[in-house]
A and B are shown apart, each in its own frame.
Chain A
Amino acid sequence: MSRLYRRTLAWFDERFGAGSVEEFLRHKTIPVHRHSLWYYFGGMTLFLFIIQVLTGILLLLYYRPTPNDAFESVQYMVTQVRFGWLIRSIHSWSANLMIFAAFVHMFSVYFLKAYRKPRELTWISGMLLLFVVLGFGFSGYLLPWNTLAFFATKVGTEMAGSVPIIGKWLLIFLRGGEEVTGATLTRFFGFHVAVLPGLATMLLAIHLFLVQQLGMSVPPGVERAIAEGRKPARSTPFFPNFLLRDIIGWYAALGALGALAAVFPWELGTKADAFASAPAGIRPEWYFLFMFQTLKYLPAKVLFVDGELLGIFGFSVAALVWVAVPFLDRRIGFGRVTRFFTGLGVFALGYMIVLSLLALR
């Protein structure tokens, strides 16, 4: 076994260059300290993304992206096709867990200041990936063509439409016309299975390359303690030690997905009807709840400005600041500036949690 392993490795080394494969695997080490737990969430997000790709390919075997067929094809899949309910439920659950894992990953990186020099581009590529993931969530939500999805898409695209100057163009681009129709479904299907996967693959390659190139960030507090000799610098090899721990987490996630899909199968709802009222109690997926609740609270006019426009403007500015944080927070590890950004993060997280809970009330 180990002879075969060495011979295989040697075969690849002859082609890739001496020792490069092993070097690639051994190069990476994971620092060990009291915040090490957070290192697992990036890998967890990646694992759930792979689950999405695999189950998504399976869903494509039966799904038909037209307004007359979409709902029926999903219905057929979950009622007639063997294990169709399982595949679809895992795709929905994994999507939600992936977004949750991505948010945990993002906030842990934020609070541990892992975005600081030289990892600015890692942060930006990660934020772009998060936007792509939210795009996946928004476009995928419409595909079963049910009532909730229909109105969620109306509202979401209308918000894009209220952006000054390019809004109208954006709305028609997204909807494939003035209204949410079959043209919208076809477009969203294209975004969901072709455009966004392409973007995600590209960004993921950049993100992972940067992680590999720069190594893992050590939080400023730990770094200082090591520099001052108060703590030893400990680390563990990525391969195989950390990867094996990763795999245990992934295995547990797979078990959780199976259990969730079996115990709480994802609902299909009722077929979308363009000439029915929005049902009472309608609300978007949990990761958009804080924006949804903000829109509910904003009055029609705030000093001559449409309330919704103000909301969209506010969220856009917040997102821009968030993406640019590595360039704004320049005195990391000491001083007031960095404390301000920690406070900003606490406020953002608190705002999202409180408003989401209010929406669920």
Chain B
Amino acid sequence: MPSSEQRADKPIQTGRRWVNVLLGSGLVASVVSFLYPAIRYIIPPPVAESTSRSVVAAKVDELKRNSGKVFKFGSKPALLVRTADGTYRAFSAVCTHLNCTVQYREDLHQIWCACHNGLYDLEGRNVSGPPPRPLQMFEVHVQGEDVVVTRSA
């Protein structure tokens, strides 16, 4: 009689499989609905970027020739350099390698990152060490007493 027993079992097994699938997918859906808010919670909402396109980086008589200064530009540090011939240049001060803050080296006439010894020239180009990209350059205008740095649109 084994063959008739098997036949009798079959609909029951199919039915059980359906119950399992329904229960299982319900369980998975509920777990996802528990986890989703937690995962969204972990990632903070984006902070609005500062909209100001220009900032007063320094006073005209503040920097001597062949020196540099880190200033706040929006939420990020930027670097103002007064070259040996007296002209101003401004760059993002965030090293393109691993995010450290760069500085002007008076002895090298170059921009240097202390973290991993990266060097940039006064055009912002990465000339030696690990940095993979040049520093972003900003426009500089002298307006009266102020040295104004502007981000190009």
Question: Could you list which residues of chain A lie within 8 angstroms of chain B, going by C-beta atoms?
Answer: 151, 154-155, 157-159, 169, 172-173, 176-179, 183, 274-282, 292, 295-296, 298-301, 306-308
Residue from A179, A279, A307 within 8 A of B76 (CB atoms):
A179
Known: A178-B47, A308-B97. A295 touches B130 (CB 8 A): yes
> Do B132 and A301 touch (CB < 8 A)?
yes
> Do B114 and A279 touch (CB < 8 A)?
yes
- Interfacial chain B residues near A275, Cβ < 8 Å: 70-72, 77, 101
B64-108 interface code vs A (CB 8 A; 1 in, 0 out) = 000000111001110000000000000001000111111100000
B17-51 interface code vs A (CB 8 A; 1 in, 0 out) = 00000000000000000000000001110110000
Question: Could you list which residues of chain B lie within 8 angstroms of chain A, going by C-beta atoms?
Answer: 42-44, 46-47, 70-72, 75-77, 93, 97-103, 113-117, 126, 129-132
How far is B79's CA from A256's CA once the two chains are assembled, in angstroms? Answer: 46
When C-beta atoms are compared, the residue in chain A nearest to B96 turns out to be A300
How far is B71's CA from A299's CA once the two chains are assembled, in angstroms? Answer: 29
Known: A151-B100, A276-B70, A277-B103. A282 touches B43 (CB 8 A): no
Interface pairs (14), CB distance under 8 Å? A154-B99, A158-B99, A173-B42, A173-B43, A178-B47, A179-B76, A275-B71, A276-B70, A277-B93, A278-B114, A282-B114, A295-B98, A300-B129, A308-B97
| CB proximity of A150 to chain B, nearest CB, Å | 9
> Do A277 and B70 touch (CB < 8 A)?
yes
Count A-B pairs with CB separation below 8 Å: 80
Q: Shortest 9 CB-CB distances between A and B: which pairs?
A: A277-B103, A158-B99, A278-B114, A300-B132, A278-B100, A158-B98, A155-B98, A154-B99, A275-B77
| CB proximity of B46 to chain A, nearest CB, Å | 8
| CB proximity of B116 to chain A, nearest CB, Å | 5
How far is B2's CA from A181's CA once the two chains are assembled, in angstroms? Answer: 72
How far is B70's CA from A304's CA once the two chains are assembled, in angstroms? Answer: 32
Residue from A278, A295, A307, A308 within 8 A of B101 (CB atoms):
A278
When C-beta atoms are compared, the residue in chain A nearest to B126 turns out to be A300
How far is B98's CA from A39's CA once the two chains are assembled, in angstroms? Answer: 40
How far is B98's CA from A315's CA once the two chains are assembled, in angstroms? Answer: 17
Known: A172-B43, A300-B132, A308-B130. A278 touches B103 (CB 8 A): yes
Q: Which of B72, B114, B131 has the most CB of A within 10 A?
A: B114
- Interfacial chain B residues near A296, Cβ < 8 Å: 116-117, 129-130
> Do B47 and A274 touch (CB < 8 A)?
no
Residue from A159, A183, A307 within 8 A of B44 (CB atoms):
A183
How far is B44's CA from A178's CA once the two chains are assembled, in angstroms? Answer: 10
When C-beta atoms are compared, the residue in chain A nearest to B113 turns out to be A278
When C-beta atoms are compared, the residue in chain A nearest to B78 turns out to be A275
> Do B101 and A276 touch (CB < 8 A)?
yes
How far is B100's CA from A296's CA once the two chains are assembled, in angstroms? Answer: 13
| CB proximity of A149 to chain B, nearest CB, Å | 13
> Do B130 and A277 touch (CB < 8 A)?
no
- Interfacial chain B residues near A154, Cβ < 8 Å: 98-100
- Interfacial chain A residues near B100, Cβ < 8 Å: 151, 154-155, 278, 282
- Interfacial chain B residues near A158, Cβ < 8 Å: 98-99
> Do B98 and A277 touch (CB < 8 A)?
no
- Interfacial chain B residues near A278, Cβ < 8 Å: 100-103, 113-115
How far is B132's CA from A307's CA once the two chains are assembled, in angstroms? Answer: 8
| CB proximity of B122 to chain A, nearest CB, Å | 16
> Do B130 and A298 touch (CB < 8 A)?
yes
When C-beta atoms are compared, the residue in chain B nearest to A280 turns out to be B114
Residue from A169, A183, A279, A308 within 8 A of B98 (CB atoms):
A308
> Do A295 and B47 touch (CB < 8 A)?
no
- Interfacial chain A residues near B76, Cβ < 8 Å: 179
How far is B97's CA from A306's CA once the two chains are assembled, in angstroms? Answer: 9
- Interfacial chain B residues near A155, Cβ < 8 Å: 98-100, 115-116
How far is B98's CA from A281's CA once the two chains are assembled, in angstroms? Answer: 16
When C-beta atoms are compared, the residue in chain B nearest to A299 turns out to be B130
- Interfacial chain B residues near A151, Cβ < 8 Å: 100-101, 115
> Do B101 and A277 touch (CB < 8 A)?
yes
- Interfacial chain A residues near B115, Cβ < 8 Å: 151, 155, 278, 282
> Do A281 and B130 touch (CB < 8 A)?
no
Q: Which of A277, A292, A295, A296 has the most CB of B within 10 A?
A: A277
When C-beta atoms are compared, the residue in chain B nearest to A296 turns out to be B116
How far is B117's CA from A179's CA once the two chains are assembled, in angstroms? Answer: 22
Known: A281-B114, A300-B126. A159 touches B98 (CB 8 A): yes
- Interfacial chain B residues near A279, Cβ < 8 Å: 114
> Do B72 and A277 touch (CB < 8 A)?
no
Known: A277-B70, A295-B116. A179 touches B75 (CB 8 A): yes
